């Protein structure tokens, strides 16, 4: 994916994180327990932070194009979907079994940060 594609992806993930965070803060407050609301807030926080990480991938893809920047972006996407997505669904559906997916998302997020850290060293220098 191009740098502009990563920027657009990060921005869209950021918009959905803010929307879901607002939904959690205002729409779920009276519907779920305080413990579940904390879980939803954690999902939204990780979602938003990693949306910003995808925006950083746009910069890395532009400056250090190569497999590490691309891998970081895809790992952040997978991590958001698996980590935050499983937590959102667990709170909204009550399906506690979805919690088994959450650590896989966390591993993807960690791997994304490692791939992003390697991008300046293993990617080609643009410009």
d(CA 23, CA 45): 13
Asked if residue 126 has pLDDT above 70, the reply is no
Residues 6+ apart with CB under 8 A from 15: none
Domain ranges of the chain: 3-121
57: buried, middle or exposed (CB in 10 Å: 19+, 13-18, 0-12)?
buried
51, two tokens: 């949306």
What pTM does this model have? Answer: 0.95
**How big is the chain, counted in residues?**
127
> How much is the mean pLDDT over the chain?
95
> Binning pLDDT at 50, 70 and 90, where does residue 127 land?
low
112: buried, middle or exposed (CB in 10 Å: 19+, 13-18, 0-12)?
buried
The pLDDT tens digits for 35-89 are 999 999 999 999 999 999 999 999 999 999 999 999 999 999 999 999 999 999 9
Write down the pLDDT at residue 53. Answer: 98
């Amino acid at each position: 994916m191009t740098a502009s594609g990563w920027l657009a992806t990060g921005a869209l993930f950021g918009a959905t994180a803010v929307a879901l965070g607002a939904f959690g803060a205002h729409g779920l407050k009276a519907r779920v327990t305080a413990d579940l609301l904390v879980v939803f807030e954690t999902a939204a926080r990780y979602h938003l932070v990693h949306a910003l990480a995808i925006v950083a991938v746009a910069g890395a893809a532009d400056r250090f194009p190569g497999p590490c920047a691309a891998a970081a972006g895809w790992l952040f996407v997978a991590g958001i979907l698996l980590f935050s997505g499983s937590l959102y669904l667990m709170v909204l559906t009550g399906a506690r079994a979805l919690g088994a997916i959450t650590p896989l998302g966390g591993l993807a997020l960690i791997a994304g940060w490692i791939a992003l850290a390697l991008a300046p060293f293993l990617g080609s220098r643009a410009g």
